[in-house]
Chains A and B, each alone.
Chain A
Amino acid sequence: MSRAGLHDARPEELAPLQTEAEAASYLGGDTSLRAWLTTTDHKRIGVLYLIAITCFFAIAAVAAALIRIELLTPQGDLLTAEGYNRAFTIHGIIMVWFFLIPSIPNVFGNFLIPLMIGARDLAFPRLNLASWYIFVFGGLFTLAAVIFGGVDTGWTFYTPLSSTYANGNVVLALAAVFIAGWSSILTGINFIVTIHKLRAPGMTWGRLPLFVWMHYATALILVLATPVLTVTLLLVAAERIFGLGIFNPALGGDPLLFQHLFWFYSHPAVYIMVLPAMGVVSELVPAAAHKKLFGYWFVACSGLAIALVGFLVWGHHMFVSGQSAFASTIFSFLSLIVAVPSAIKVYNWTATLYKGSIALDAPFLFAMGFIGLFVMGGLTGLMLALLAIDVHVHDTYFVVAHFHYIMVGGAVTAFLGAAHFWWPKMFGRMYNEAWGRTSAVLIFIGFNVTFFPQFLLGYMGMPRRYHVYPPEFQTLHVISTAGAGLLGLGYLLPLIYFLYSFRHGRPASANPWAATGLEWTVPSPPPEHNFEEPPVVIRAPYDYPLSHDSSLR
């Protein structure tokens, strides 16, 4: 089949409600709610996560909309100062812990890791289901915190604000994040053991798809960093409930200790969000360019390097907190070092595209969007790692713009890229390609219009977390809010055409993108047990072009 015309998703005739392939797949069989809620199939659990995190994304997006509308004018007319604090706190807590951290690993990692390594399931299927329930349970605590009036500490829960002064539902919010942390740890354990012990014959470490490598690095962070957050939140809760004074200077405690412990987790947490995104892009780029990925081992090892060095840079959040100049210098240096493996990856993706026959499909447009926005976020991260610039822009919109470029421009764009690339595999239907491309372009433009002005705002001195501001900042804030409207539309579109594809999408072939990887050798959607017979891997990864072997078609 030629590649041209492959993606014209406009169906000539109405596709059947449930195709034979779907009936024979994991989507068929017992489709009762009870069967879905008690499933131990990694594919169904991935879909459960997809539903849950989409709901959380919607809630947090509403909070973001409130923030942006409030900032249209210099006065506080929509929200009070208190209401504004609660809006950005809920936005942060839900987006970080209930969308970004579980997004790619728990949806696509769950769904794809066993398929990619030739396994029938994750190593501990019941633990996998348990981690979904724990996640949802934690989510209910967050919703309770919102319903009972919200929290106003910011997602960082800095002490002594969170421990002594804040009067919102801080303990509920702490409990929510605490519980979600256990879900992360269990997922991390499951991924590590699965990747070690369930690879198919011939699936050596050197043949693992980079998506799996990046999830391995992510799982290491999940397992080793999350418990530090767990104990930190426990200490804050103990301070509020039992009156301990670990972080309370009036009782001999040290509020800075909280920042050390919190960032020891929360900086690696950024890599929990972005490493899986890098794994996604490492799949999308070779598939679009139809070329072997350039520098396989460099990409794999740089992921591990990011996971390792990421543990050693937390102090760059505390340059103005009074830590010693010597410590700041070391942390600044290490923060510059951690950019090197990230840059290696960008070079490798770019080198892969060189002289490739590139198909400009929606997933690839998202991948390109990721690379552009990630580079922008990474370079401004280098600026922030420099002591002098950080002192100037600390706690301003410059920082807000920087981490949104990484976490939204990077991780969310890659999440959507993954959704477009693997949607046909997951649900056996093609979405409308033209709308997919529209959405990718709209998100890229909308994102930049929203967040680029915030770099300027921050550099000019607009502090973060203020709902009133001097009138001279208004123009840039209005541009940013207008961009947020575009961005919101860009996020809404996929929701519509993905849902539309369930009923009207053209049935997808097993390998619609002519990509390598074991997941494309099974029917779309995959059967309940993934592989009829245990696969034996004899090919190197990203062994493009596919033309010499029809078995992957």
Chain B
Amino acid sequence: MTIVRHEPFPDIARQREADRLGMAVFLASEAMLFGAVVMGLLALRSFEPASFAATSQRLNLVAGSVNTAVLLTSSLLVAIGAEARACDRQRLARWALGCAALLGLVFLAIKGSEYVQEYGEGLMPGAGPKQDFATPGARMFMDGYFVATALHALHVTIGVAMLAGCAWRLRGDDAPSTVAVENIGLYWHLVDIVWVFLFPVLYLSR
């Protein structure tokens, strides 16, 4: 499997380093995107600790915990897939990435069922059959919850598409390069890490 050298680079090693660095810088940017949301939530928690804790209790902790396990497992699979690609074990890489993408879908399904449940309980701000917020702080918490998790779910969706595409292309001769697989993996790990922050801030602050 040869990697195509693109125009500006003197050699492939440099190109590989550049691809990796480009992804790392992009992830730094993504971290700031979620950083603003997490900081906003933490600010709310310090201003309104009582409403924050009370509303946090109304979230589905079981679903959140299962989702955490699902996402962490998928990250493990992605790491295995990237290593397998580096060792030229295409079949293993394909299966690992494919399963990781499936787990991503499982995550989205569970998240969706949570949204349905919250819609029914009157916890979705401005939507649903009723509105059931004890305090303005409770509504603010749910606002933050929906913004943070929806933004995260958008990233999961993009990640699933990339993992699935990557697994699909690993079938044939036009397999993505090791650095491409690793970069997609890095993106998936970021999605995972963001959840690792969101889960305790939203679900465990009870």
Contacts and interface: CB of A to CB of B under 8 A. Distances in A.
A189 B26 contact: yes
B7 A193 contact: no
B139 A245 contact: yes
A224 B32 contact: yes
Contact of B25 (A119, A188, A238, A243): A188
Given A230-B33, A245-B125, A251-B139, A534 B8 contact: no
Given A120-B7, A224-B32, A246 B140 contact: yes
A123 B18 CA distance: 7
B144 interface: yes
Interface in B113-140: 125-127, 135-140
A304 B28 CA distance: 17
A207 B27 CA distance: 29
Contact of B36 (A122, A190, A227): A227
Interface string B138-167: 111001101100010000000000000000
Interface string A204-236: 000000000000000000011111101110110
A119 B137 CA distance: 54
A188 B29 CA distance: 10
B50 interface: no
Contacts of B25: 188-189, 192-193, 223
B135 A193 contact: no
B32 A120 contact: no
B8 A243 contact: no
Contacts of A190: 22
Which size bracket describes the interface of A in this complex?
A: 35 or more
B143 A245 contact: yes
A114 interface: yes
Given A244-B146, A246-B143, A264-B36, A124 B28 contact: no
B137 A252 contact: yes
Interface footprint category on B? 35 or more
A152 interface: no
B8 A252 contact: no
Contact of A253 (B6, B28, B143, B146): B143
Nearest to B124: A242
Contact of A244 (B9, B36, B143): B143
B36 A253 contact: no
Given A189-B25, A253-B143, A257-B43, A244 B125 contact: yes
Nearest to A190: B22
Interface in A378-415: none
Interface string A193-211: 1101110000000000000
A261 interface: yes
B40 interface: yes
A126 to B, nearest CB: 9
B146 A198 contact: no
Contact of B151 (A231, A246, A252, A254): A231
A410 B205 CA distance: 48
B14 interface: yes
A198 B29 contact: no
B18 A232 contact: no
A327 B101 CA distance: 46
A232 B36 contact: yes
A192 B22 CA distance: 8
B7 A227 contact: no
Given A123-B18, A193-B22, A242 B126 contact: yes
B8 A114 contact: yes
B204 to A, nearest CB: 22
Contacts of B138: 252
Contacts of B8: 114, 119-123, 125, 194, 198
A114 B9 CA distance: 12
B37 A253 contact: no
B9 A198 contact: yes
B7 A228 contact: no
Given A121-B8, A261-B36, A192 B143 contact: no
A235 B147 contact: yes
Interface in A97-145: 114, 119-125
A468 B140 CA distance: 39
- Which interface residue of A188, A197, A238 has the most chain B CB atoms within 10 A? A197
A170 interface: no
B83 interface: no
Interface string A164-204: 00000000000000000000010011101110111000000
A264 B147 CA distance: 19
A231 B37 contact: yes
Nearest to A225: B32
Contacts of B140: 245-246, 251-254
B21 interface: yes
A321 to B, nearest CB: 15
Interface in A226-274: 226-228, 230-232, 234-235, 238, 242-246, 251-254, 257, 261, 264
A245 B34 CA distance: 19
B28 A197 contact: no
A287 to B, nearest CB: 27
Contacts of A232: 36
Nearest to A114: B8
Contacts of B136: 251-253
B14 A197 contact: yes
Contact of A121 (B7, B14, B22, B35): B7
B17 interface: yes
B125 A197 contact: no
Contacts of A225: 32
A224 B21 contact: no
A361 to B, nearest CB: 33
B151 to A, nearest CB: 7
Nearest to B8: A121
Contacts of A264: 36
Given A228-B36, A253-B143, 7 more contacts: A198-B14, A227-B30, A228-B33, A231-B36, A244-B125, A246-B143, A257-B43
29 contacts: A121-B7, A121-B8, A123-B18, A124-B22, A189-B25, A189-B26, A190-B22, A193-B21, A193-B22, A197-B14, A224-B29, A225-B32, A227-B30, A227-B36, A228-B33, A230-B33, A231-B37, A231-B151, A232-B36, A242-B127, A244-B143, A245-B139, A245-B143, A246-B147, A251-B139, A252-B138, A252-B139, A253-B136, A253-B140
Interface of A: 40, 114, 119-125, 185, 188-190, 192-194, 196-198, 223-228, 230-232, 234-235, 238, 242-246, 251-254, 257, 261, 264, 534
